[in-house]
């Protein structure tokens, strides 16, 4: 937790670790929200695509999950096709 002072003109200087963590550089816009007496500071992304880039990199691979799901679907479809052919042609 940090304590900061309001400077002349209503300016507030964020501590360096906070600026680095949230990408608060000169020109970055922030939204101030009064939430039941608590002032909330929300950094706004200049480019939403840039802001979202890499947000899932530490999570599970969605591509691998999709490929696994497709593989299971194909196996089930192959089993249904085999059973259908056995019934259709009397093969066992």
Query: Alpha-carbon distance 47 to 79, whole Å?
Result: 48
Nearest to 30 by CA among 16, 12, 15: 12
Mark whether 63 and 36 lie in a shared domain.
no
In a domain, 36, yes or no: yes
Query: Alpha-carbon distance 77 to 14, whole Å?
Result: 58
The parent domain of residue 68 ranges over 57-86
Q: What is the pLDDT of residue 5?
A: 94
Mark whether 25 and 61 lie in a shared domain.
no
Mark whether 8 and 51 lie in a shared domain.
yes
Mark whether 47 and 72 lie in a shared domain.
no
Assess contact for 43 and 30: CB atoms under 8 A: yes
Neighbours of 47 (CB within 10 A): 8
In terms of residues, how long is the chain?
92
In a domain, 91, yes or no: no
In a domain, 6, yes or no: yes
In a domain, 92, yes or no: no
**Can you list the residues of the chain whose pLDDT is less than 50?**
none
Count of domains forming the chain: 2
């Amino acid at each position: 937790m940090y304590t900061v002072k309001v400077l002349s003109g209503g300016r507030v200087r964020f501590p360096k670790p906070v600026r680095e963590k949230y990408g608060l550089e000169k020109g970055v816009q922030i939204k101030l929200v009064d939430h039941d007496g608590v002032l909330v500071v929300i950094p706004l992304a200049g480019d939403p695509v840039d802001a979202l880039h890499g947000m899932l990199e530490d999570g599970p691979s969605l591509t691998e999950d999709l490929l696994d799901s497709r593989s299971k679907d194909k196996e089930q479809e192959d089993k249904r096709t085999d059973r259908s052919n056995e019934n259709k042609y009397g093969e066992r």
